[in-house]
């Protein structure tokens, strides 16, 4: 089935104590890349829906890289995810303000979706609340608005629009955080460092990775499943425990997963060696997933294809669900299963990341090697 990749949201917002719908992440959840890179991923002509999940994976100290195979505990449990952005992301710049007639000052000044608002006048902006306070301080004259665009600081000068209630607005739609649930891929039993999701948490409007200021994972449980059907991805639903039962931090949000440290990891399984990419092959495998309550179970799959070269930039493997029980319960891979660990030949080889919308029994996965490399890179960046 040939179609262009489908963009969906990284995580659903939800209310505390209420059922929360898990939505999918963008199959192209990556920072803006040069054209040469984008040309590599354009040939993906499958309709995808990412399956939100959580995955992090450093293990040895950054200076102690991969001399010996790492041993990690495969997890498969769902967790609540809460990310706060480093600044306020602009997700839409309409032509007019909310009154539907006044021209948008941000539009006129050249603000773009994906810009991160970091300062208004003398006021630093790191959250939606700080944006409101900064706008409350303007006096109706032109003000300098500092945004981060593609990693560079850009100053825009504009006059916020005065609304009838006396408040001022920039005339944009913004987001300062995302909440959802997803699946933990592994935990390092020595350090408590974990990896989850296998892809980034990104803004559903722009497809850009949400720049992380702070984040946390919490205990949760799956309350219901909407089965996947050809053309309509299924999804898990769970209880939102945002702000309660915090079990770990989120220190990085990257294209191959989110990473952090779990305070008291509950390892229900023995640690397994992490496979090298060269060990990945087609054939039988299993995944660990939590599709009911808090129970993690093993389900049969097949690694149907292993990608290499340019094709492997955005995916490492094609997986097919072979377990009749999982197919009967979920239809195959559903949104919320991203990060489900993949085990083959007694080794942790990767994580589920996407479901093919046209066939929910098939999806993509990322190799554990890519996740670990990303985690090591982030640790080196933090240490620099």
Annotated catalytic residues are 199, 323, 338
**252 contacts 264 by C-beta, under 8 angstroms:** no
Burial readout 120-151 (b: 16 or more C-beta within 10 A, e: otherwise): bbeeebbbeebbeebbeebeeeebebbbbbee
Distance CA 57, CA 50 (A): 19
Q: Which helix (H) or strand (E) holds 109?
A: helix 105-109
What secondary structure does DSSP assign to 144-187, as a single string?
A: EEEEEETTEEEEEEE-PEEPTTS-EE-S-EEEEEEEEEEEEEEE
Distance CA 37, CA 42 (A): 9
**196 contacts 54 by C-beta, under 8 angstroms:** yes
Per DSSP, 53 falls in state B
Phi, psi of 370 (to 5 degrees): -65, -40
Distance CA 247, CA 218 (A): 5
Residue 225 neighbours by CB under 8 Å, 6+ apart: 234, 235, 236, 237, 291, 292, 329, 330, 334
Q: How far is CA 71 from CA 99, 192, 241, in A?
A: 57, 12, 30
Rg of the chain over Cα atoms, rounded to whole angstroms, equals: 21
Residue 194 neighbours by CB under 8 Å, 6+ apart: 54, 55, 56, 57, 75, 184, 185, 186, 187, 188, 248, 259, 260, 261, 262, 265
Residue 70 neighbours by CB under 8 Å, 6+ apart: 59, 60, 188, 273, 274, 372
**Can you name the residues that pair with 19 across neighbouring β-strands?**
239
Closest CA to 274 of 371, 352, 197: 371
């Amino acid at each position: 089935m040939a179609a262009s990749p489908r963009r969906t949201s990284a995580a659903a917002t939800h209310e505390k104590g209420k059922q929360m719908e898990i939505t999918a992440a963008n199959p192209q959840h990556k920072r803006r890349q040069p054209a040469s890179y984008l040309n590599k991923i354009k040939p993906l002509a499958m309709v995808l829906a990412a399956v939100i999940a959580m995955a992090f994976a450093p293990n040895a100290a950054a200076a102690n890289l991969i001399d010996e195979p790492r041993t990690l505990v495969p997890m498969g449990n769902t967790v609540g995810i809460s990310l706060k952005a480093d600044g306020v992301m602009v997700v839409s710049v309409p032509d007019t303000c909310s009154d539907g007639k006044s021209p948008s000052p941000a539009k006129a000044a050249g603000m773009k979706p994906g810009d991160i608002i970091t300062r208004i006048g003398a006021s630093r902006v790191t959250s939606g609340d700080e944006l409101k306070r900064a706008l409350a301080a303007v006096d109706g004259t032109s003000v300098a608005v500092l945004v981060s665009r593609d990693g560079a600081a850009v100053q825009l000068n504009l006059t916020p629009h005065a609304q009838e209630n006396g408040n001022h607005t920039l005339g944009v739609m913004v987001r300062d955080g995302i909440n959802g649930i997803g699946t933990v891929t592994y935990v390092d039993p020595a350090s408590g460092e974990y990896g989850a999701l296998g892809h980034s948490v990104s803004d559903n409007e722009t497809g850009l990775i949400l720049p992380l200021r702070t984040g946390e994972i919490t205990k949760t449980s799956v309350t219901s499943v909407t089965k996947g059907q050809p053309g309509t991805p299924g999804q898990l639903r769970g209880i939102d425990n945002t702000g309660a039962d915090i079990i770990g931090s989120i220190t990085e949000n990257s294209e191959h997963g989110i990473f952090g440290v779990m305070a008291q990891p509950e390892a229900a399984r023995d640690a397994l060696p992490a496979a090298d990419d060269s060990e990945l092959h087609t054939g039988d495998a299993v995944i660990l997933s939590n599709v009911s309550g808090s129970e993690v179970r093993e389900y049969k799959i097949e690694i149907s294809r292993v990608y290499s070269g340019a094709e492997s930039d955005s995916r490492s493997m094609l997986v097919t669900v072979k377990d009749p029980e999982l197919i009967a319960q979920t239809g195959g891979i559903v949104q919320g299963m991203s990060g489900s660990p993949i085990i083959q030949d007694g080794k942790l080889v990767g994580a589920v990341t996407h479901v093919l919308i046209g066939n929910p029994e098939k999806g993509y996965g990322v190799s554990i090697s890519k996740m670990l490399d990303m985690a090591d890179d982030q640790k080196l960046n933090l240490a620099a």
